[in-house]
Each structure stands twice: as C-alpha cells, then as structure tokens.
Chain A
Amino acid sequence: MRRLIRRLGLYLLAVWAAITVNFFLPRLAPGDPVAALQQRLQQRGSFNPASLDALRAEFGLNTNDPLWLQYLKYLNNLIHGNLGVSITRFPASVGDVIGQDIKWTLVLLSVSVLLSFSLGTLVGIFMAWNRGTAFDTALSSLMMFFYSILYPWLAIVAVYFLGFNLGWFPFAFGYDTSLTPGWSAEFIASAAYHAILPALTLIVSTIAGWMLTMRNSMVTTLSEDYVLLARAKGLSSRRVMFAYAARNAILPSVTGFAIALGTVVGGQLLVEIVFSYPGIGFDLFQAIQGQDYALADGILLLVIVATVFMNLIVDLLYTILDPRVREGRSVSA
C-alpha cells in the first residue's frame, strides 16, 4: 500500500512536469495565434477589433500578463476542468471537441490494439512452441518484412488499392456522411465498415512486433528448467505451453501493451490523417496547423494522463502477474 502511494505521488509529479512543458513549449514557438484567428474572422467578415482583447482573454492568450501569471491561470483552469476554447473550432470549447471526437479514436484504436496484441501474442506462442519448423521460419521472415514496412506507406497503398482502385472499402471519414450520427443499426454498420481499412492497416503494421516479441521471449523461457520439469511431470502440452512457458514469457509484452494502450487515447496521427478519420489524432494535426494552443494543449494533456494512467495499470497488473515484484508479503503462520 505504501508502495502504491509512493507510486501515485511519482505519477502526479510526472503529470505536472508534462503539463508545464506542455504549456511553455508552444508559447515559445514563433507565431501569434490570435493574429491567425483575427485573419480567419476577418475573412468571415464578423471581426470587431474591440473584441480582440476579449478573445485573447478568453483563449488565455492575454499576452499583457507575464508568462508566469498565464501559467498559473492555466493551472487554475485545468484544476477546474476548464481546458479553454478551441481557436480552430471557435466557439466550441476544447472539452467539447475532445469529448465529441474521442469516441471515434477510442473505438477504432482500442479494438485494433487489442486484436493485434492478442492475435500476435497467441501466434507468437505457437511460433515459439514450434520453433525451427517451417511454420516458424516462414512466419518469422514474413513478420520481419511486415515489421519493417513504414506505416504511412502501407496505409496509402491500402487506401489506393483496396479503397480507391477496387472500391471494397471506404477510405475517408468515420461514417457515411449522409447518415445522421446516432445509435441506429445503419449508422453503426456504416461506422464499422469505415473502420475496417484503418483498423486492418493498424493491425498489419503492429502485429509483427507483438508476434516477434512474444516468440523471442518464449523461446527463452522454453529453455528454462521449469518448463523441462513441467514436461517431465507429464502435464499436457497445452498446460506446459500456457501455464509454464507463455505465462512467464508474456511479462515483457505487458509493458509494451500498456504503452500501446496509452497511445489509444491520443489517437494515431498518421492513421487519422491518411484516412481523414474524425478522431483526436486528426484534431491534433489541425490544432498544430492552426496554432490552436488550447486544443493542442488539451489533447497532449489527455495523452499524458492516459500514458501515465496506463503505466499505473501496468504497475498494478505486474504485481498480479509476477509475484516477485510483490513487496512485504509474508506467510501467515
């Protein structure tokens, strides 16, 4: 328990440090977002110079305040759950933008990451179990090939051939835009159909990593004496494979899995850009282009919190999975 509290403190510290960097970094970059907004509003013809200062204050970009005061105000806003107003999506608040788009990212990425991890790990187990066979050798080489493919290339190839040329899958947006979003069967089917291609490319590009990690880790545990002993005990192959070899080999993969889950929340910039997917990653891309500090800050904050949170989960998971990291456990006499 004390260990947990110490850990929590450490994670809070990490979040604070990240927020601080997050705040200062864009403000040290050149460019004035309000000027950019001013331009945009002028184009719409609804610009009133008197409201500029009000806008600055609203966006937390009141450059009349010294930076440290801006920082404190920013922290204060954060604590109250106020992430500010988006510049590019004005007048929507950052919280609303994120709340609306995160669903897309969460569903697409969590399904892909889960599928990729579980499938890759399972196949990796069988590869290690049958190491040296034609199955293992062929799949290992194939996976090395997949592993070295650059994701944007794969995604563009998929969009071009499967989407554009063959027309099997839609290759842009999260759903058929002629439908109204809602819980109708038609809409859900459309959303699922649109998700196939991005999910597929994601799985193909990440599954090799899971497979090879698990395979290599398990090849190591397979040569351990406890696996030999399990075999000598006359246990079924399935039990030796899973309860003894794989159970010990999966520990390194769990860390990687948590990191992957952490990125789920932040979205995959490249996926969402290539597929024009209405998720958080696409928002971040637009926010950076439009110098939308508030939105970029909000999304990065979300990524940080998610990553830290996933790390915490892994910490807890590890204490369940690996009794050796449990502390202060004593046998009751």
Chain B
Amino acid sequence: MMDSRETTGITGTAITGDILLNVRHLSVDYQADAGDVHAVTDVSFALRRGEILGLAGESGSGKSTLAYALARLLRPPAVVTAGQVLYSPGVERQAARTSVHGGRRGRADGLDNAPLDILRLTPAQLRAFRWNDLAIVFQSAMNALNPVMTIGAQIVDVLAAHRPELSRGQRYDRAAELVRLVGIAPDRLISYPHELSGGMRQRATIAIALALSPDIIIMDEPTTALDVVVQHEILTEILRLRAELRFAVIFITHDLSLLLELADTIAIMYAGRIVEYGARRELAGQPRHPYSYGLLHSFPNLRGPRRTVLGIPGAPPDLRDVPPGCSFHPRCPFAFAPCSTTLPLLRPATTQTSAEEHQQVACHLYDPAFAPAPPAEELLAAGYAALVRE
C-alpha cells in the first residue's frame, strides 16, 4: 500500500477504509493565448473506500476541473501539467477484474496490488477503468441525459459496452434493478428524459452511475438545479446507497451547507488550491482558514446559535495571474507581511497531534514560523465583523 501519510500529510480520518484514490500534487492548466489559466494547482488528497469527500469553493475555484481531471475527461485546452492520481482497487475487485476481463488490464510488472496512475492509463485500460471503477453524476441532469434515448437504453448501453457477456434480457433486468434501487419504477425505463421531472432525471443519472457498481462516484453539483425538498431527497438517497454499496463519493458543490449534512470530510478550494481540509465535524465546529470561516458564515445556520451572516468582500483572483504568496491575501482581513510573499502550504491546524485531529490549513496564521499562536475563533469573527461595519 502507498504511504499516503508522507505524501498527503494526513494523519488519520474518520473513515477508516483503505485508500482508494491518492491524488498527489495535481495541477491543471487551461492553455490560452492570453496566458495559461492555472485552474488547479498542486492539489493532494486521499479518498478512502466509502468516504464522502466534499469539495467546496466558489465558481472558478477549480473544483470541477479537478473532478474532470480525475475522470480523465478534460478536453483541450485543459492539460494536466503535473501530478499523479493513484487508484488502488481492492483485492477482491482486482481478482474479479482479472477473472472477468481476462487480463485486459494485465500488468507487465506483475505487481498486482500496486496502484494504477489514472493519468497514465493506456486507452484500453482507460476504457475499462471508466464507469467500472469511477462513474460521474453531472450537474444538470437535463443536459446529462441524451434527449433522444430512453432512460433504459442509456443504462443498457453502459452494460453493453462493459459487460458484453450479458444477454439482452439480463441487461434489461439489471437496468430495472438499478432504477428500482434509486426509487424509480421500472416502467419508467421506456421514458425519455423530457418526460421525467428534474428529481427523477437526477435519480436516473445516479442509476446510470451505479450500473457497474463503481468504487468511486464523482458528483458534480448533482443537486444544484433542484428545489430544496428534492435536493434533500437526493442527498438522503446518496447516503442510503453509500451505506448499501460502499462506494466513495467526491461531492462537488459551491453550497457548503449541503456538505455539512452529507460529507465525511470536506476540502475547501480557493483559486485552484485546497486551503483547508478536515473532517466535517472539525470544519463545521471550527473553520481555521479565514476563507473557510467567511464561506461558512456566508449563509444562515438553521440549527446553531444566531450569528451574523458575513460576506467575503472582493472577487476571486484571475487565475492567469494569481497573487504571489497566499492567493487569498488581497481579500483577507487578517493578511500580514508573509502572506503576500510566501506561499502557505497545508499543515496541521493545531500543534496537538491527537488521533482525531487532522484538520489541515494552508494559512500563515497557523504556522509557528510566522505567528506565535493560532488565532482564536473570536479573532476571526471580530475580523469579519469589522469588515461588515465598514
């Protein structure tokens, strides 16, 4: 198994499954004449079996680009400029795969348990990897479904491509089983996408994602276009299915409040970098990065104590020309000298290294080399409150 600690610095997670996906120093650029857009810069994290990782950030923070890079779906001018995405299928999965696919992903080096670098798969390996191991649920279910094919046909064509050994009848049986699993009546298989409601369409795309029982499902804003009631239904459905099928989820959203209901771990992205990473409880309880703090207080909390709703002034930086040092410093109420010169890297947020503590933050306020002591939450609150008054 990879030594993930050394590469990601993670010292333990609430989820204790094996590491499925280990993203290391991934960078993605959009190449343009006016200068390359650094959409994702030096992102590292690990995803464990059965974990729901929430990826939050405002529009243009690079979260969708990151997801597409993991799925090998980037199209020019987007280019992965650095990094690895190491995927370690479980032992049973590995065994099942070699028996079913007859060495389709046979390995020259004979190391059966060594992780695969998704970014370096051969075309044949990539075709087998897609949907078998990693599936995607897209933002807008209306556009994610082919308008001229029935729901059933769109499930069946995955099965036809990846399970040629199944008969036609078996494929349709499996399709019926899948839609039932996500709460759609099987007679809907002959419906076209426009004949379904938004929530049903989203359920259908989830059914398509589940077709081959993948290890990982990337969900790119799957509930954004839905009303809150349906949104809640879908989230509940995802949690139930996760418990039943044990897949891991990378859940991308700009709505941090959703992640507080759903995710096991949360990563906050800003200007292409992860600026804070931690278990949901830690992040919800005490956001460390000034940006996370602002983001978390930018919507009213229904259950917690009353608090002032804050906004973060300014706009995200132009990703062609990211400010030196910490890219958030021009908007940060707490910026001090090193912020504009030195790039902060993810580091443990606190000095105590208890087993549960693994919140990490990329901010000089938490670096003993620059700040004598990490700031108290009241200080963050006061800093933002001062902005509101201005």
Contacts and interface: CB of A to CB of B under 8 A. Distances in A.
Contact of A322 (B128, B129, B144, B148): B148
A173 to B, nearest CB: 46
Interface of B: 71, 73, 76, 126-132, 135-136, 138-140, 143-149, 157-158, 161-162, 187-188, 190-192, 194-195, 205, 208
Given A232-B135, A234-B129, A234-B131, A226 B161 contact: no
Contacts of B161: 233-236, 239
A224 B143 contact: yes
Given A224-B143, A248-B148, A321-B148, A232 B136 contact: yes
Interface in A216-266: 224-226, 228-236, 239, 243-244, 247-248
A333 interface: yes
16 contacts: A225-B138, A225-B143, A226-B146, A229-B136, A229-B144, A232-B71, A232-B131, A233-B130, A234-B126, A234-B131, A235-B157, A247-B148, A248-B148, A322-B147, A331-B187, A333-B187
Nearest to B196: A331
A225 B139 CA distance: 9
Contacts of A44: none
Contact of A234 (B128, B147, B195, B208): B128
B194 A230 contact: no
Contacts of A132: 76
Contacts, number: 80
Contacts of B71: 232
A324 interface: yes
Interface in A294-333: 321-324, 329, 331-333
Interface of A: 132, 224-226, 228-236, 239, 243-244, 247-248, 321-324, 329, 331-333
A226 B136 contact: no
A247 B148 CA distance: 8
A323 B128 contact: no
A244 B146 contact: yes
B157 A323 contact: no
Query: When A and B form their complex, which 7 residue pairs have the shortest distance between CB atoms, in order from nearest?
Result: A234-B130, A225-B143, A323-B192, A225-B144, A226-B146, A234-B131, A234-B127
Contacts of B144: 225-226, 229
Contacts of A247: 146, 148
B146 A234 contact: no
A201 B100 CA distance: 55
Contacts of B130: 231-234
Given A232-B130, A232-B136, A332 B162 contact: no
A322 B147 CA distance: 8
A324 B194 contact: yes
Nearest to B126: A234
Contacts of B132: 234
Contacts of B138: 225, 228-229
B179 to A, nearest CB: 13
A273 B139 CA distance: 57
B191 A331 contact: yes
Contacts of B149: 243
Contacts of A332: 187
Contacts of A236: 127, 161
Given A231-B130, A233-B131, 11 more contacts: A228-B73, A232-B131, A233-B157, A233-B161, A234-B127, A234-B129, A236-B161, A244-B146, A322-B147, A324-B194, A332-B187
Nearest to A226: B146
A235 B145 contact: no
Most buried by A among B140, B161, B205: B161
Contacts of B139: 225
Nearest to B185: A333
Given A232-B73, A232-B131, A331-B188, A225 B140 contact: yes
Most buried by B among A229, A323, A324, A333: A229
A132 B73 CA distance: 18
Contact of B194 (A226, A231, A239, A323): A323
Nearest to A329: B195
A239 B73 contact: no
B79 to A, nearest CB: 14
Nearest to A229: B144
A228 B131 CA distance: 13
Contacts of A243: 146, 149, 157
B93 to A, nearest CB: 16
Nearest to B211: A233
B140 A324 contact: no
B143 A226 contact: yes
Contact of A226 (B128, B147, B188, B190): B147
Contacts of A230: 146
Contacts of A233: 130-131, 135, 157-158, 161, 208
Nearest to B128: A234
Contacts of B187: 331-333
A316 B282 CA distance: 60
A232 B127 CA distance: 9
